[in-house]
Homo-oligomer: A and B are copies of this chain.
């Protein structure tokens, strides 16, 4: 198989796996009022020491500012998130979890753990690391190309 076929296969598999993961995640947390996308927003907030703005969350998740903005506004409406003034930037307020948000996120984690265990059980540990490193390299390559794109404008 040529190098091009190899990378193309990988790309198609990323598309398929992405869909399967979103579906599985949705199913995992549906009854606690979450979706994969909202769960990911909570994760981005939980996993940083410093509170983030909407734009900051977007950068962490690799999504557009606007996609995150809409999710955040909906989640504020649902009582999962709240905004706090940002001493460093009047416009870019900080996104924080409410008590409810924290409880829901904790519940999501509790379900994620055994699910992830089952998924990883018969997979080779090194292969997971190798794959993650490779995917990250690919994405960084693409992101770099994207930056050059914008610079050309």
Contacts and interface: CB of A to CB of B under 8 A. Distances in A.
A119 B134 contact: no
Of A27, A117, A139, chain B has the most CB atoms within 10 Å of the CB of A139
Contacts of A18: 14-15, 18
A153 interface: no
Quick one: copies of this chain in the complex? 2
A78 B21 CA distance: 32
A133 to B, nearest CB: 8
Interface stretch (A4-12, A79-87, A89-97): A4-12
Contacts of A88: none
Contacts of A133: 127
A3 interface: yes
Contacts of A119: 7, 138, 141-142
- Secondary structure call for the A interface: helix
Contacts of A143: 20
Contact of A17 (B8, B23, B120, B135): B135
B128 A6 contact: yes
Contacts of A120: 3-4, 6-7
Given A10-B132, A127-B131, 12 more contacts: A9-B132, A10-B128, A14-B17, A16-B61, A16-B62, A16-B139, A18-B18, A20-B142, A24-B142, A24-B145, A127-B134, A131-B135
